[in-house]
Structure 1
Amino acid sequence: MSHIQREPVHAGEFLLSEGAGQISREVINVAAGAALMPGQVLGLVTATGFFAPYNPVATNGSEDAACILFGPLGESDVTRRARAVVRLAEVSEAHLTGLDPTAEQALAERFIIVR
């Protein structure tokens, strides 16, 4: 019997295009928590100023999609430094996690266009 292995999503694999240089990316702080894969849609928790996975039913700020995680993050019980795409990019819908129509619209307002 053979096993099917799946290649994990690589850093930035969701990017179709971005602004010149690295104008599309910023260093961010991600709240402690579960491991996250590249392409995770993130929202900004207003009380802490840390990013967390986009959650459309939250009431802490993470219900507003703000950016997309660029590379993988391991599980952690402390705040993590990361890179995110925050503006001026086209991204592949198939490689995003947590995307819904509301998040897609919020990202478009930041000039992150889902294709």
Structure 2
Amino acid sequence: MSQMGFAVPGFTTARENSEAEIFWGPLELRHLHNGLISGAARDTANSPTTVLRPGLVLGLITASNLYAQYSPTATDGTAVARAIALLECRATDIDGNNQNRLMPIAVGGPIKAANLIGLDSLARRQLANNFLFDDDLPGRQFLGGPLKEVAKTADYSVVAADNGTLFTTTAAAGNVVFTLPTIARGLMFEFLNVVDFNMTVASAAGDDMVSINDASADSIAFSTGSQKIGGHVIVHSNDAGTKWYVRNLSPGNTITTAT
């Protein structure tokens, strides 16, 4: 006997499929992909939230390689916008259990910003390399900026997957040490001290940071009294993947170099 939960006699709330025009421009410019959507994904602005509408901005869960709704404050990888849902998708099965779904998604092309769900300024910047927004101001993508911002209140070992992240010390109640990962070409990280405690950026290997008057430093720190808050640097690998270059964005704050 079937245990299916549909076609039960009686009245219920009428539902219609959601449709949205996502692309504009010629078909040749549209880049599509079959993406596996996580059953835990939710369209938080929809009712029910388990129905994902076309146009929903998606991120990629690092651990599972599944797509889910973009969330700028998430720590599972979905804080980086990567794709757009193209069709309505129910994230649960008929029994209400989470069910992963294989669905077509957009990974590039000209898109209509007004029809996207969950799009914010950060997601725009993250998607700008692959998508062309119909309402974008010319040249805005060249303003730059970090991929995302993450606050750390204790010592943290940066990993390659953090590439493009701005780390701050927001809410830290003591000194914070950021330890860089193994050098690899293309890695870039940004660090901003917003509390009156020491902030240190250290190399895991040592003797490979280029800073003030030192081409082989172990670490740099903002530790001088009255010059800690606002300490701001960008650290990136050289093209050879052998040195960390330190760019001081706060020349009024003293950098202490350890060698």
**TM-score interval w.r.t. the shorter chain?**
0.7 to 0.9
Instruction: Check conservation: 2:91, 2:100, Cα contact below 8 A.
Output: no
User: Aligned pairs, how many?
Assistant: 105
Q: Which amino acid aligns with 2:31?
A: S
Shift of 1:74: 1.2
Aligned partners of 1:18 and 1:24 also within 8 Å: no
Q: Which residue of 2 aligns with 1:30?
A: 37
Post-superposition offset of 1:75: 3.2
1:79 Cα deviation after fit: 0.7
Q: 1:10 aligns with which of 12, 19, 37?
A: 19
1:16-95 equivalences under 5 Å are 16-17=24-25, 20=28, 24-33=31-40, 34-76=50-92, 77-87=98-108, 89-95=109-115
CA contact (8 A) 2:91 2:99 kept: no
Q: Residue in 2 aligned with 1:114?
A: 133
Which ranges of structure 1 fall in alignment gaps of 5 or more residues?
A: 1-6
Could you tell me the percent identity over the aligned residues?
29
Q: State the superposition RMSD in angstroms.
A: 1.9
- Which stretches in structure 2 are left out of the alignment for 5+ residues? 1-15, 41-49, 93-97, 135-259
CA distance in 2, matches of 1:18, 1:97: 23
Whose Rg is larger?
A: 2
Letter aligned with residue 94 of structure 1: A
SS of match in other structure, 2:59:
strand
Distance between the aligned counterparts of 2:82 and 2:26, measured in 1?
Answer: 16
Contact 2:52 2:88 in 1 (8 A): yes
Q: CA deviation at 1:71?
A: 0.7
TM-score w.r.t. structure 2 length?
0.38
Instruction: Note if contact 1:25-1:83 (Cα within 8 Å) is conserved in structure 2.
Output: yes
> Distance in 2 between the 1:75 and 1:31 partners?
7
